[in-house]
Amino acid sequence: MIGEYQSYRLDPRKNPGFPILGLLKLVVTMAFIYALIVPIALLDAVVSLYQYLCFPIYGLAQVERRRFVSIPRQGYESLNFMDRFNCHYCSYANGVLRYAQKIAAETEKMWCPIRQKLRKGYAEPPHHQGFAENGEKEALLQYYARYELVPAEAEPAEGAACPAETGGS
């Protein structure tokens, strides 16, 4: 049932570098890979509902799902059913994760535009570039004023830290 490409790659007679035990490991891990279909589809539904309900209230532009989630319909004619299914599944899963990340980033721009204190090895998201530095009250006020999120004369709480950094919600 494994696709032709995978079966060639995994066949120890055709590919001696791949032991029989490798095929067993693949079959066992497939259960976990395919089990993610349900949570990914649920994530897709929940973040879509969230942005459709909340973004208009916040005055944020809708994130276009089709820019991130795409199931290609062409170009897979040479693949068998299982290979085609796997390609569609990976495309959908990665698209949903990018879509959810974009929605989270847009929310963070509104609710917590403060850069995290960088630690070694941390890959800072690109959308953090315009954020205020942690603890810089004036920079935070300028950020809010620039995006008209709150009146420029408003004062943030002392220390201006993101709720996620202080343990709040």
Rounded mean pLDDT of 37-51? 98
Q: Considering the domain boundaries, does residue 121 fall inside one?
A: no
Co-location of 100 and 132 in the same domain: no
- Contacts of residue 80, Cβ cutoff 8 Å, sequence gap at least 6: 3, 4
- Helix (H/G/I), strand (E/B), else coil: 15: coil
Co-location of 130 and 79 in the same domain: no
Give me the domain span that covers residue 135: 126-166
Q: Considering the domain boundaries, does residue 6 fall inside one?
A: no
Q: What pLDDT was estimated at residue 123?
A: 86
Co-location of 89 and 151 in the same domain: no
Co-location of 136 and 100 in the same domain: no
CA distances for 55 relative to 47, 52, 146, angstroms: 11, 6, 18
Co-location of 33 and 106 in the same domain: yes
CB 87 within 8 A of CB 79: yes
Co-location of 23 and 70 in the same domain: yes
Residue scoring higher pLDDT (87 or 9): 87
Q: Considering the domain boundaries, does residue 116 fall inside one?
A: no
Count how many domains the chain has.
2
- pTM, rounded to two decimals: 0.72
Residue scoring higher pLDDT (41 or 152): 41
